[in-house]
Chains A and B, each alone.
Chain A
Amino acid sequence: MIANLTNTAGNLALQLLRFVGGMTMLAREMWYSIWLRPFYPFLIIEQMYQIGVRSLSLVAATALSTGMVMALQFGYGLQKFGGKLYVPKVVALSLIRELGPVFTSLMLAGRVGAGITAEIGSMNVTQQIDAIRALGTSPIKKIVIPRVLACLIVLPLLTVLANFIGVLGGMFIGMSELGIDAQFFYQKAAYTVTLTDFSVGIAKTFFFAGFISIVGCYFGMNTTGGTQGVGIATTKSVVTASILIVISDFFLTKFFWILERWL
């Protein structure tokens, strides 16, 4: 039994090392290639459309629902203690600092991360990645870099939109369910949220965008085993990106609190 446990632990450690090593190698290769010609700006724009514009409805629905639910929960909860008037502050602050960036990133990890892995994985198993190389071009430049850059550009923008829609959702519930005046809601929210709160939330999304896109590309580029392999890689990609977002969020929050105190 102990031998089995050691074996399993050893295998897991090996897999983890392989994953970390593979991701590092991919990121390193990307970093060196990004500065070299040729550049493909149209591919980045196309990916921005695929990743950003086509995720708008999902992000908007999630943000709206989150804002509304939070306002409702805090509204009814705080009402008992006469703290209903704190709802705008709590909703705006938690959305902009934490929930907006994290929920938007998790949604994108599901939609975009899965899409990236499935697309690249299918290309891999049908030898299209090999064809890119055989035709004297780089899959890193043609496939990986446009997706990573597009993700780094659009995720912060989507988060700004999600924050706005979330607060609007909270405001709507404040008005319709809690009897809080819209003007009051806006004033309290605007007074509470500082530029630092907003910046910290957005800064986190750059890390999350990196996790989603690089993990998606890594699993796609390493897909083996035909269509079944594509399915497995896609699941792994979404799970890994989501876990990385959730875990890193804690450390990033801690890091930014320290940074804020320091500055």
Chain B
Amino acid sequence: MAVIEVKNFAKSFDKKVVHRNVNFQVKKGECMGLIGGSGSGKSVILRSLIGLEKPNSGMVNVLGDDITQFTEKELVPVRKRVAYVFQGGALFDSMSVADNLSYPLIEHTTLSPSEIKSIVEETLQSFGLSGSEKIMPANLSGGMQKRVGLARAIILEPEVILYDEPTAGLDPFNTKKIQEKILELKEKGVTSILVTHDMPSAFAVCDKMALLLNGVIAAEGTRSELEFKKGSVMEKFINGDEF
């Protein structure tokens, strides 16, 4: 059963048409890589899956609900179940690492401060970030910021995770750490979409890939399916050839 279904998705900004007719499905526990050139609108699709953007037309079905007409209030239950990992981490810079992680727990659970503290410590430990509780985001490296961003996103144990370029600009060590975490979450049955330009990471973690080109999904399939299609747009995109 599809956990995420996007149908006839169209979106324009002023007069610029970004998406003409985007269609795809992601099944439960599946990880789909959404790739495409810069400015092709990958992040816009991702943002639409959590209601941060509204399509001009089409349907965005997430966990059984068409969220396109949802109000901010109606989106709250969806946002508790769907996590978004921002490209730059989007950590609240007026809060420490621990406060950033506590934020969703304070807002959406009735846990006591001591329980929240212990969950935060556990989560940080699992990300190799023990001891960074009191550090402010501005004093973290880019890799650490992304890991904290990911930790904050998954702390409510979401069913779906949307990753917006989680490994962009990271060194191999941090890239590997993030990849491992995505795989770990996938093994737990979390459904995910990974927007990325980092092809090795995409191949390492994704079950299938979709190429966004000229406002439509130009190619879609599993890794093995795509590897057989020599000379296809997907192969050209991956190899950096003109198409």
What total of chain A residues lie within 8 Å of the partner, measured CB to CB?
Answer: 15
Inter-chain contacts of A126 with B (CB < 8 A): 88, 90, 93
Partner-B contacts on A (CB < 8 A): 38, 122-123, 126-128, 130-138
Instruction: Contact check, A135 vs B88: say whether CB atoms are below 8 A apart.
Output: no
Taking CB atoms and an 8 Å cut-off, the chain B residues in 190-217 that contact chain A are none
Q: How far is the CA of A135 from the CA of B92 in the complex (A)?
A: 12
Give how many A-B residue pairs fall within 8 Å (CB-CB): 52
Instruction: Contact check, B93 vs A135: say whether CB atoms are below 8 A apart.
Output: no
Taking CB atoms and an 8 Å cut-off, the chain B residues in 60-93 that contact chain A are 72, 75-77, 79-80, 83-84, 86-88, 90-93
Complex interface bits, B44-57 against A, C-beta within 8 A gives 1, otherwise 0: 00010011100000
Residue in chain B with minimal CB distance to A139: B72
Residue in chain B with minimal CB distance to A32: B73
Stretch among B100-108, B115-123, B224-232 lining the A interface: B100-108
A-B CB contact pairs (8 Å), 26 listed: A123-B92, A123-B93, A126-B88, A126-B93, A127-B87, A127-B90, A128-B90, A130-B47, A130-B86, A131-B86, A131-B92, A132-B92, A133-B51, A133-B79, A134-B52, A134-B79, A134-B83, A134-B84, A135-B79, A135-B103, A136-B76, A136-B77, A136-B79, A136-B107, A137-B103, A138-B72
Inter-chain contacts of B92 with A (CB < 8 A): 123, 128, 131-132
Taking CB atoms and an 8 Å cut-off, the chain B residues in 135-188 that contact chain A are 152
Q: How far is the CA of A134 from the CA of B72 in the complex (A)?
A: 10
Interface size class of B (residues with CB under 8 A): 20 to 34
Residue in chain A with minimal CB distance to B82: A134
Partner-A contacts on B (CB < 8 A): 47, 50-52, 72, 75-77, 79-80, 83-84, 86-88, 90-93, 103-104, 107-108, 152
Instruction: Contact check, A130 vs B107: say whether CB atoms are below 8 A apart.
Output: no
Residue in chain A with minimal CB distance to B92: A128
Instruction: Contact check, A133 vs B52: say whether CB atoms are below 8 A apart.
Output: yes
A136 CB contact (under 8 Å) in B80, B86, B93, B152: B80
Q: How far is the CA of A208 from the CA of B171 in the complex (A)?
A: 50
Inter-chain contacts of A122 with B (CB < 8 A): 93
Instruction: Contact check, A130 vs B79: say whether CB atoms are below 8 A apart.
Output: no
Residue in chain B with minimal CB distance to A131: B90
Inter-chain contacts of A38 with B (CB < 8 A): 107
Q: Which 8 A-B pairs have the closest CB atoms?
A: A136-B79, A131-B90, A127-B90, A134-B84, A136-B76, A127-B86, A136-B80, A135-B104
A133 CB contact (under 8 Å) in B72, B91, B104, B152: B72
Smallest Cβ distance from B103 to chain A, in angstroms?
6
